[in-house]
A and B are shown apart, each in its own frame.
Chain A
């Protein structure tokens, strides 16, 4: 679905990404993990064409990103920014429906689509009339997800979808996300700093360190045989946080 070859992106101050070579296979969920500043969000922005690589190429469905028609490209991707990024001046419904309305969907088609999405993300439909400031953190994340999914994009890109939530909501939403990804059968890229989340949600893990790929592979693979000291420490820290620390994965 995505293919990155020799991609480098640097910001003033030295942070950034690359060089990175990466294949994101279609229909799978890739979790990108790493400490802050490791280039996770930069990777998402490169996939979206929100920033351009300094060197190397990003391809989506075989075509160069961002390419000629950047609007069409972005409509093939659903993106949820860290914190959800709901527009406070619109209701939940106004947020979710914004793009479809702009493209001239009639209300019947839109209503049907929103009802389906509410079911998918497990949001009570009556919540849709509220404004973002009247929503709980979990509800806001679900609405953001609806907004990203309204055009049924080919891929879903989520930046820390469980970031600022309380533990109970976090646990609930994690289960619902996993279920939604399973039903959608889409290519999903989730950025997180939490290995537990990544293991729960991802078919594959990509561990970043200082803008370079430290290791990638299936979760079991990564946990069983960390590629280097850094990954081992990452995995170790996670194991220590588990109940009955020191047990087998």
Chain B
């Protein structure tokens, strides 16, 4: 059993099981931050080891998107935090303690036991300074009223941030609010004694910080768990059991280490996950990795597919709508108004709003791009047609041509430069907007851009941004050529000198 994977990793039991005719399909999702991507990758690899054909839809645009997708069944499982489930997703419902499991079960969902760590608010100090002062827990802070504390603005404002901390531990200090990144640096350089952080932040390692124990539980519980569809137990019991082997196996220190490998050492998440699984669970698993050229090609095809399909649909509907708007001006006002309103919906809001209807993946992205393409196409078709000189329209009418012949032989050719310009505008906007498709799992050039932003890796950002810009230029140039083919020669001649 030879694996063709470029990193030479063993295909393990996954490939053999996947070859059997009944291998169930398991779709894993992850959020667009590194820890979630690593956990998603671990789950996918374990599902494969459990005999499933697993896909990992990585870096989806936010909690809402994953939640809607797992409710709809577009995703089977994704890593989540109990605090997020209670405070964000099920806010307003009884979901404390045992009630959380019942609230999920009512929606056809289940939750694994905790994976072994929390990703919650924490307070960190420089290791040497903490040791020198003998501070190990948050309770110890109250004995040192002279400590200089600096917290991120969000932490200062949130009810479960500084107010909870001060109340629980009766802290006397008066902290300063400042930018998160600055706070890390200030602590590292000794200008601050302590700052807020997330308990599995790789910066903890990077800046050599010690995390103080939350011994009186000031901060909400954010246990990492896997949320999965309850039907998975019947559909893919072995894959589910395999994924649940993660329960209780990842300590906060281990997670922090994995995050740091991916975030700071730039090791691909699949590799990080595979190494961890091999070491902790003795699962041999395949870390799939593509070369850069194959990756860019794949993204290009996805991107072209998104823009091309949505644009084709927008032309097929938009030009007839433009004609209708031209023939019936009152309808036209209505149409252009509606298309204008759609245009003002922020793209992320539109994408997220479409997920309950269309799920995740290419479909919501295609539909959103289609909607955004409509306005320039309808508007330019309408204005191209109504901009035809009155004497030309009257001549066509007086010749005795029936309406469809006037449209086809005279009006559309005369409006063709304007129509084409509208399609070009839509295409260029589409190339840019399609990068957001990655947020809902549609792939495209947005994928490396998202990953690059997440990992603060300029090379990765450029891997998406440069081809996207090149594609926009190519579209621009392509439309120049298309104009020569589609706009009648007589309209491209310079107007006569008089």
CA A208 to CA B409, docked complex, whole Å: 37
Interchain nearest-CB distance for B494 vs A (Å): 7
Most B CB contacts (10 A, CB to CB) among A70, A71, A75 go to A71
Most A CB contacts (10 A, CB to CB) among B395, B405, B410, B493 go to B395
The SS class assigned to the B binding surface is helix
Question: Which of the candidate stretches A78-86, A175-183, A220-228, A236-244 sits at the interface with the other chain?
Answer: A78-86
With A74-B399, A99-B400, A147-B399 already in contact, the answer to whether A89 and B394 are too (CB < 8 A) is no
Interchain nearest-CB distance for B403 vs A (Å): 10
Interface string of B242-258 (1 = CB under 8 A from A): 00000000000000000
- Please name all residues of chain A whose beta carbon is closer than 8 Å to the beta carbon of B490 when the two chains form the complex: 87-91, 131-133
A81 pairs with B395, CB closer than 8 A: yes
CA A208 to CA B46, docked complex, whole Å: 94
CA A231 to CA B489, docked complex, whole Å: 48
In the assembled complex, B397 has its CB within 8 A of some CB on chain A: yes
Q: When the two chains form the complex, which single residue of A50, A98, A135 contacts B398, counting CB atoms closer than 8 Å?
A: A50
In the assembled complex, A134 has its CB within 8 A of some CB on chain B: yes
CA A82 to CA B409, docked complex, whole Å: 21
CA A107 to CA B395, docked complex, whole Å: 23
A50 pairs with B394, CB closer than 8 A: yes
Task: For chain A, residues 175 to 210, give those with C-beta under 8 angstroms from any C-beta of chain B.
Answer: none
B410 pairs with A87, CB closer than 8 A: yes
With A132-B490, A133-B495 already in contact, the answer to whether A89 and B413 are too (CB < 8 A) is yes
In the assembled complex, B181 has its CB within 8 A of some CB on chain A: no
B401 pairs with A87, CB closer than 8 A: no
Interchain nearest-CB distance for A170 vs B (Å): 15
B391 pairs with A89, CB closer than 8 A: no
A81 pairs with B495, CB closer than 8 A: no
- Please name all residues of chain A whose beta carbon is closer than 8 Å to the beta carbon of B491 when the two chains form the complex: 88-89
- Please name all residues of chain A whose beta carbon is closer than 8 Å to the beta carbon of B392 when the two chains form the complex: 85, 87
Interchain nearest-CB distance for B397 vs A (Å): 6
B405 pairs with A89, CB closer than 8 A: no
- Please name all residues of chain A whose beta carbon is closer than 8 Å to the beta carbon of B493 when the two chains form the complex: 88, 131, 133-134
Interchain nearest-CB distance for A148 vs B (Å): 8
Interface string of B389-426 (1 = CB under 8 A from A): 00110111111111001000110011010000000000
In the assembled complex, B496 has its CB within 8 A of some CB on chain A: yes
By beta carbon, the residue of chain A nearest B413 is A89
Interchain nearest-CB distance for B163 vs A (Å): 69
Most B CB contacts (10 A, CB to CB) among A74, A86, A132, A133 go to A133
In the assembled complex, B477 has its CB within 8 A of some CB on chain A: no
In the assembled complex, A77 has its CB within 8 A of some CB on chain B: yes
In the assembled complex, A72 has its CB within 8 A of some CB on chain B: yes
- Please name all residues of chain A whose beta carbon is closer than 8 Å to the beta carbon of B399 when the two chains form the complex: 74-75, 79, 98-99, 147
A74 pairs with B400, CB closer than 8 A: yes
- Please name all residues of chain B whose beta carbon is closer than 8 Å to the beta carbon of A131 when the two chains form the complex: 489-490, 493
Interchain nearest-CB distance for A90 vs B (Å): 6
By beta carbon, the residue of chain A nearest B405 is A102
- Please name all residues of chain B whose beta carbon is closer than 8 Å to the beta carbon of A79 when the two chains form the complex: 395, 398-399
Interchain nearest-CB distance for A200 vs B (Å): 25
Interchain nearest-CB distance for B303 vs A (Å): 35
Q: Interface extent on B, as a size class?
A: 20 to 34
Interface string of B80-115 (1 = CB under 8 A from A): 000000000000000000000000000000000000
CA A221 to CA B401, docked complex, whole Å: 41
In the assembled complex, A48 has its CB within 8 A of some CB on chain B: yes
- Please name all residues of chain A whose beta carbon is closer than 8 Å to the beta carbon of B329 when the two chains form the complex: none
CA A224 to CA B144, docked complex, whole Å: 120
Q: When the two chains form the complex, which single residue of B414, B495, B496 contacts A89, counting CB atoms closer than 8 Å?
A: B414
In the assembled complex, B19 has its CB within 8 A of some CB on chain A: no
Interchain nearest-CB distance for B453 vs A (Å): 48
B409 pairs with A98, CB closer than 8 A: yes
CA A82 to CA B394, docked complex, whole Å: 10
CA A50 to CA B390, docked complex, whole Å: 13
B394 pairs with A81, CB closer than 8 A: yes
CA A135 to CA B496, docked complex, whole Å: 8
By beta carbon, the residue of chain B nearest A133 is B493
In the assembled complex, B488 has its CB within 8 A of some CB on chain A: yes
Interchain nearest-CB distance for A157 vs B (Å): 8
Interchain nearest-CB distance for B4 vs A (Å): 56
With A81-B391, A83-B391, A98-B409 already in contact, the answer to whether A88 and B398 are too (CB < 8 A) is no
CA A89 to CA B401, docked complex, whole Å: 17
- Please name all residues of chain A whose beta carbon is closer than 8 Å to the beta carbon of B495 when the two chains form the complex: 133
Interface string of A124-143 (1 = CB under 8 A from B): 00000001111100000000
Task: For chain B, residues 449 to 498, give those with C-beta under 8 angstroms from any C-beta of chain A.
Answer: 488-491, 493-496
By beta carbon, the residue of chain B nearest A134 is B493
Interchain nearest-CB distance for A141 vs B (Å): 13
By beta carbon, the residue of chain B nearest A150 is B399
CA A77 to CA B397, docked complex, whole Å: 12
By beta carbon, the residue of chain B nearest A74 is B400
With A75-B400, A87-B414, A99-B401 already in contact, the answer to whether A133 and B494 are too (CB < 8 A) is yes
Interchain nearest-CB distance for B398 vs A (Å): 4
What 10 A-B pairs come out closest when comparing CB atoms? Answer: A74-B400, A85-B395, A89-B488, A131-B490, A75-B400, A79-B398, A85-B391, A89-B413, A133-B493, A81-B391
What are 9 A-to-B residue pairs whose CB atoms are below 8 Å?
A74-B397, A79-B395, A86-B395, A87-B410, A89-B413, A98-B409, A102-B405, A131-B489, A133-B496
Residues of A at the B interface (CB closer than 8 Å) are 48, 50, 70-75, 77, 79, 81-83, 85-91, 98-99, 102, 131-135, 147
Given contacts A85-B395, A87-B410, A147-B399, 7 further A-B contacts (CB under 8 A): A50-B398, A87-B395, A89-B491, A98-B399, A131-B489, A133-B490, A133-B496
Residues of B at the A interface (CB closer than 8 Å) are 391-392, 394-402, 405, 409-410, 413-414, 416, 488-491, 493-496
